[in-house]
Structure formats: structure tokens, C-alpha cells
Copies of this chain bind each other. A is one copy, B any other.
Amino acid sequence: MDRVAIFNDYVRKKGLKNTSQRMIILETFLNSKSHYSTEELYLKLRKKNPKIGYATVHRTLKLFAECGIAVELNFGDGQARFEPVNDEEHHDHLVCTRCGDIIEFEEPRIEEIQEEIGKRYDFKIESHRHELYGICAKCSLKK
């Protein structure tokens, strides 16, 4: 089931309504390089749809997170970012503290060890965040 279908299902089940704004936001959100903050997505949407309000964008992003087609990320810059979720793959992030660039990485071994840690503490892991902060290759060169 693709993410649009998941969202529509969620909306139906919850008795919510399917509005044009939500569709526009969903489409733009899914068809873009990820890691949008509310502000960024709002500004982007605004260009083509000047009538969409900031609050709606924010509410809709929260809704995406709620129904599982997005995750909320926070890289310590003081604003939440949202990333479309892809069921097949899970990744974490390298965050460049100089240019703000975000690189995704996958590491199944870490996922395994996490499971192990959960068992060790009798802790039911539901989600995690794992971010590595530092200087990316480009910035290292630039000096």
C-alpha cells in the first residue's frame, strides 16, 4: 500500500475529511527531497498555493507522522523536520554541523544490537533516533 493510500485510509478510519489542501501538501511532501521543516514546506507550497496557511501545513505534517507516513526528526537546530517514511528501508542520519547537510545511512548491525539492548533491559523498543554529528567531506575540504 503506498503512502497516499495509507493516508487516505487513516483519514477515512478517523472520520476526518479529505481536503484539497491535504492532498496538495501530501503530494509536495512526498515528491521532494526530504527533511522539510514546517517553515520550509510552507514557503515552498506558498509559491503555487498562496492560500495555504502555516497552521494547516503544520497540522498536516503532524497528521502524516500520526498515520505513519512521515517521521518527525529533530537535529538540534530548534525546528522539527519531517521525512517521508519508506516501509522497506530504515535509515539514520549524519548531520553536518557546519553546512547543515544531512546524509542518510543504513546499518543493520546497529538495528540488531538495539534489539539486543531492548531485551537486556526488558524494554519494548518502539522507535529510536540515532544521529551522528560532525563535519561532512565537503566542509572538511573547504577548510
Contact = CB atoms under 8 A, between A and B. Distances in A.
Interface in A88-117: 94, 96-97, 103, 105, 107, 109-110, 113-114, 117
A133 B137 contact: no
A3 to B, nearest CB: 22
Contacts of A87: none
A137 B123 contact: yes
Stoichiometry, copies per complex? 2
Which of A113, A117, A126 has the most CB atoms of chain B within a 10 A radius of its CB?
A117
Interface string A56-100: 000000000000000000101000000000000000001011000
A122 interface: yes
Nearest to A105: B117
Contacts of A117: 94, 105, 107, 132
B124 A135 contact: yes
Given A94-B117, A107-B113, A129 B130 contact: yes
Interface of A: 74, 76, 94, 96-97, 103, 105, 107, 109-110, 113-114, 117-118, 120-137, 140
Given A105-B121, A113-B113, 10 more contacts: A74-B76, A110-B110, A121-B137, A122-B140, A123-B136, A125-B134, A127-B133, A127-B134, A128-B133, A129-B133
